[in-house]
């Protein structure tokens, strides 16, 4: 078991560039580590490069590699969060800035889409927006448009996850950005999740969309900054129409 609010850290790697659809499984983001292990790997490689460059060319030439090593240690941080326990609360699956709140049509039914942009300065660990069961995981190959581009929601490579629980149904999409080349997701269909539980990661700049029933009571607006697992995006009624991950078209901004 993982740290509180983060149960199973067996992360499946979606290698976006290669288009893998059945990624391998391995232990990832261990309980006793304060960050995703990738941070240590990058930092150790850069520290070794800094030592070599410093030995060959002098200490000042090693400074850029040292600074990059520190950046990667910071980028892959994985802080604990206080998870709200309010009934019907949908928490943010990611840290970042709310860039769009729109009405869309999904299979003919109105839905609300919340888009969250993650810059390279945000925590990139993703969390489940509600407690329930993973009902669908759909990986889509695509482009690597800037995550701020509205077209990225449909055309970029992405991983769409449907979570259902206690009569609620929410979809969240891990969307690759201009720099992102790997999406990580650690669950499979049928797995239970807790609200705010760690479920994956997107490396470097990226975007996360959350699709809700149109009756959801929103708690955020465009321009707000949110934190994964702790910021409440909306409240849902106990019974909501099941969502599917196909057939979404933009209807208009709220």
Which positions are annotated as active-site residues? 206
Cα dihedral sign, 9-246-139-81 = negative
Burial of 127 (0-12, 13-18, 19+ CB in 10 A): buried
87: DSSP letter:
T
Of 188, 209, 212, nearest to 136 by C-alpha is 188
Specify the 3-state DSSP secondary structure of 69. Answer: helix
Alpha helices (runs of H) in 87-230, residue ranges in sequence order = 152-155
Q: Rounded to whole angstroms, what are the CA distances from 136 to 35, 162, 242?
A: 28, 5, 11
Q: Rounded to whole angstroms, what are the CA distances from 67 to 143, 194, 204?
A: 31, 36, 17
DSSP for 122-180, please give it. Answer: S--EEE-SSSEEEEEEEEE--B---TTSTTHHHHB-EEEEEEEETTEEEEEEEEE-SS-
Residues pairing with 218 in the sheet = 234
Cα separation, 175 vs 158, whole angstroms? 4
Cα separation, 216 vs 230, whole angstroms? 18
């Amino acid at each position: 078991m993982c740290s509180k609010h983060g149960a199973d850290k067996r992360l499946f790697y979606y290698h976006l560039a290669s288009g893998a659809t059945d990624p391998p499984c391995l232990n990832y983001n261990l309980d006793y580590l304060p960050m995703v292990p990738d941070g240590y790997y990058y930092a150790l490689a850069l520290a070794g490069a800094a030592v070599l460059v410093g030995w060959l060319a002098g200490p000042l030439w090693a400074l850029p590699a040292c600074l990059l090593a520190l950046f990667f240690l910071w980028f892959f941080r994985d802080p604990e969060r206080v998870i709200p326990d309010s009934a019907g609360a949908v928490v943010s699956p990611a840290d970042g800035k709310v860039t769009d709140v729109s009405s869309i049509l999904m299979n003919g039914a109105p839905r609300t889409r919340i888009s969250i942009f993650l810059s390279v300065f945000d925590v990139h660990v993703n969390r489940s927006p509600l407690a329930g069961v993973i009902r669908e995981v759909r990986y889509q190959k695509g482009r690597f448009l800037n995550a701020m581009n509205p077209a990225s929601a449909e055309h970029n490579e992405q991983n769409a996850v449907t979570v259902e629980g206690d009569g609620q149904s929410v979809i969240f999409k891990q969307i690759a950005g201009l720099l992102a080349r790997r999406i990580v997701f650690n669950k499979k269909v049928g797995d239970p999740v807790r609200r705010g539980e760690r479920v994956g990661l997107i490396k470097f700049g990226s975007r996360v969309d959350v699709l809700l029933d149109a009756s959801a009571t929103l708690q955020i607006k465009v321009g707000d900054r949110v934190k994964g697992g702790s910021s409440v995006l909306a409240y849902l009624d106990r019974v909501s129409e099941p969502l599917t991950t196909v057939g979404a078209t933009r209807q208009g901004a709220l």
